[in-house]
Amino acid sequence: MGGAQAPTPLMLKRFLYRLYERQLLSEVFRRPLPRHLGLIQDGHRRYAREAGLASLAEGYRIGAEKTEELLAWCAELGISTVTLWWLSTENLARQPDEINDVLRVIEEKMAEWIRGGLVQRLGMRVRPIGLLDLLPVGALNALRAAEGATRGHDRMLLNVAVGYGGRQEIVDAVKGHLRDCFARGERPEEILGGLTPDAVDKYLYTYDCPDPDLIIRTSGEVRLSGFMLWQSAYSEFYFCDVHWPAFRKIDFLRAIRSYQHRHRRFGR
């Protein structure tokens, strides 16, 4: 008579992983959670090369699937605002084939999220931010379609930064403020007197969001590279060595736990 099969090392590893994940989840629920999470999803190309994938495009597709998991994790914790940096203004200068791969994945995922019901399940409103006019028509239309289809959702706001640069956002905000001042016929001294941080805040791409409490960057890079320069003045940062497509829920929960154990003084 055969007995029960002995657990394999892989089965044991998976069991321990799930056990550790539940422990982390229980721990983070005991402390205040971030309201706004910013994420620099780095490492798609390095992951594709190290994993021996057929093309860099496969790395981007796996990364997009990981993004879906990340959004579900955020919804589970009740994080109401998420900002993802998908493509910088500098990225647009890369080789056309590579940029086309990224944009194709964006187009596919925007349509899939609507068709497959992800945005409905999470109650997620999608808002593209950045220099969107620099994008090809197909990618721009896909982003605008997602924005329109999710306009009434109110459980989570997802800012998708595409063609985004932090310096450009600040310049655009100042321009917007000055444009309205000129339209009101204000004198130079009035304009200068009214140019305050609060005035600029109102013209940022994320004008209606709290500043990010936590910004996570994957793939071992320890810098912001221009991400949310204005809004991140008092954010907490977490840098993770894992490439984005390999980012796990325990990596996410460790980042949240690290944030929760810091004393935030907001410059005071």
Exposed e or buried b per residue across 255-267, where buried means at least 16 C-beta atoms within 10 angstroms of its C-beta: bbbebbeeeeeee
**Alpha carbon of 125 to those of 117, 152, 237, 252, 258: distances in Å?**
12, 7, 25, 22, 28
Give the orientation angle of helix 96-116 with respect to helix 56-77, to 10 degrees. 40
d(CA 76, CA 93): 37
Catalytic residue numbers?
A: 42, 91
Decide: 114 and 193 in contact? Cβ < 8 Å: no
Helices (H), 117-165: 118-122, 137-149
Hunting for tokens 């590279």 — which residue is that?
Answer: 225
